[in-house]
Structure 1
Amino acid sequence: MITIISLGGSIVAPDDIDIPYLRAFAAVLREFLTESPERKVILIIGGGGPARRYQHAYRELMGAGSSEDQDWIGIMATRLNAELVRSLFAAECATPVVTDPTAEFDFSGRVLVAAGWKPGFSTDFDAVMLAERFGASRIVNLSNIDKVYSADPRQDPDAVPLDTIDWDKFRELVGTTWTPGKNTPFDPIATRKASELNLQVIAAGGRDLPNLERLLRSREFHGTIIGRSSV
């Protein structure tokens, strides 16, 4: 059984690298893996603070600049974070960091770590591509957002947190266009593909590790189910 976790860079490196969190996160995953020899985990790592800082520097230096250039900067940040996470799981991860979900690679260990692929979308889309490739029906999306809201709570004081939302309504929330550094619970390009595949995405706060433990074991958790309500 393969569990796919999209781990937001805002969790790994909100500004500096969050070393205590990474130690605790690794312990949670190792305990989950030891409960069954059939379990495997795919981790897709975001860019976080390093991506934002370098993209900001690019815009300061270049003005409007190129969206593709900004995407590549963000992609490189995801790869740096992913290399760190892969090192943390060296005993369980036998494969180098995956940077192209369509390439040939051997998933022979218990953990696989992936990073950004190419411009035009975030690592959320890479997670969807890997879910399709390995036949996973669910993606756990961990970020600094505990739940999906009915609207952007920073702009709409009447926005309310949601337990569930279908893909059509979610697509209305996030729109259809990707811009580098766009902050949404799941990026628009990944949303379209996940909807086509009828995947379930669970959006939850990544820092609440007891909640993650419950989520991984299909117990009651705090978060939002996007798409179908069961898998």
Structure 2
Amino acid sequence: MSRPPYKRVLLKVSGEALMGTRDYGLDTAMLRTIAEDVRGAVALGLEVCMVIGGGNIFRGIAGAASGMDRVQADGMGMLATVMNALAMQSALEKAGVVTRVQSAIPLASLCEPFIRRRAIRHMEKGRVVIFAAGTGNPFFTTDTAAALRAAEMSCDALFKGTQVDGVYSADPRKNPNAERYETLTYLDVLSRDLGVMDAAAISLARENKLPIIVFNIHEPDAFTAVMRGEGRFTTVVEH
């Protein structure tokens, strides 16, 4: 396979993507599919890091909406991302990919603390680094954490694996007439309220000139294919 035009990338996977066909929790088959896809990217010589959401287990904003304290609820959401990160680490290592989990909140018996220089060194050695617990702060989503870590790691692009093959004007699963976009600018996403990522994440990406590539994570080998410019995806860039 031809080598993609990137050296280091961050893959953001939503917690919901890990459910597969289930209504809650983790689908081990989906974990294996993503792990094999990431293994393919590493085999191409890319340095890969990841951020995984926690919505398949607990979503802080939903907890707050049901009456919980928002800070406490977001803390629970951060712990859900750690659970997903450890599950993905297990799947990756079973696929033969050496992986490290770094958490933004202290969990010394389970994973490393987030240390930027150590994370970069891991990737330089061919290890996949999974950043867990978001930014370590309430009120920030894992989308924002993904944009932040991608900027900190000097990634060439942020890949967002979703349930659909790009960005649409509306949810194509509910509206068959939704328009699909090939390319968008950061301002397009913000002004049209397209929901690709939250506003803080889009602003971070824009400030750091970080391209965002949105694709369907459920397609086999979609991650490596999209990195080579193949398949269906939407690119969000400055112009």
Q: Normalising to structure 1: TM-score of the pair?
A: 0.79
Q: For residues 180 and 28 of structure 2, what CA distance do their matches in structure 1 show?
A: 30
Partner of 2:3: none
In structure 2, what residue type is equivalent to 1:13?
M
1:170–1:2: structure 2 CA closer, same or farther, 3 Å change rule? same
- Where does 1:22-33 land on structure 2 (aligned, <5 Å)? 22-33=31-42
Q: 2:14 aligns with which of 8, 11, 27?
A: 8
Partner of 2:226: 215
1:153–1:207: structure 2 CA closer, same or farther, 3 Å change rule? closer
Q: For residues 169 and 55 of structure 1, what CA distance do their matches in structure 2 show?
A: 25
Partner of 2:144: 125
Local SS of the residue matching 1:33: helix
Q: For residues 94 and 153 of structure 1, what CA distance do their matches in structure 2 show?
A: 35
Q: 1:114 aligns with which of 124, 128, 131?
A: 131
- Where does 1:36-185 land on structure 2 (aligned, <5 Å)? 36=45, 39-52=46-59, 56=62, 59-60=65-66, 63=67, 65-90=68-93, 92-93=97-98, 95-99=100-104, 103-104=115-116, 106-107=118-119, 108=122, 109=125, 110-115=127-132, 116-117=134-135, 118-151=137-170, 159-174=178-193, 184-185=195-196
1:155–1:212: structure 2 CA closer, same or farther, 3 Å change rule? closer
Gaps of 5+ in 1: 176-183
In structure 2, what residue type is equivalent to 1:112?
V
**Are the equivalent residues in 1 in contact too, given 2:85–2:101 (CA < 8 A)?**
no
Please state how far the C-alpha of 1:73 moved relative to its aligned partner.
Answer: 2.3
Q: For residues 114 and 21 of structure 1, what CA distance do their matches in structure 2 show?
A: 19
Please state how far the C-alpha of 1:105 moved relative to its aligned partner.
Answer: 5.3
**Are the equivalent residues in 1 in contact too, given 2:89–2:99 (CA < 8 A)?**
no
**Are the equivalent residues in 1 in contact too, given 2:157–2:213 (CA < 8 A)?**
yes
Please state how far the C-alpha of 1:188 moved relative to its aligned partner.
Answer: 1.5
**Deviating more after overlay: 99-108 vs 43-52:** 99-108
**Deviating more after overlay: 125-134 vs 191-200:** 125-134
**Are the equivalent residues in 2 in contact too, given 1:211–1:221 (CA < 8 A)?**
yes
Q: For residues 90 and 176 of structure 2, what CA distance do their matches in structure 1 show?
A: 42
**Deviating more after overlay: 198-207 vs 166-175:** 166-175
Please state how far the C-alpha of 1:12 moved relative to its aligned partner.
Answer: 1.4
Gaps of 5+ in 2: 1-6, 106-112
Q: How many residues align?
A: 214
**Structure with the bigger percentage of strand:** 2
1:161–1:56: structure 2 CA closer, same or farther, 3 Å change rule? same
Please state how far the C-alpha of 1:67 moved relative to its aligned partner.
Answer: 3.1
Q: For residues 50 and 129 of structure 1, what CA distance do their matches in structure 2 show?
A: 23
Q: For residues 36 and 174 of structure 2, what CA distance do their matches in structure 1 show?
A: 37
1:152–1:19: structure 2 CA closer, same or farther, 3 Å change rule? closer
Runs of 4+ in 1 over 6 A off after TM superposition: 154-157
**Are the equivalent residues in 2 in contact too, given 1:51–1:73 (CA < 8 A)?**
yes
**Are the equivalent residues in 2 in contact too, given 1:121–1:187 (CA < 8 A)?**
no
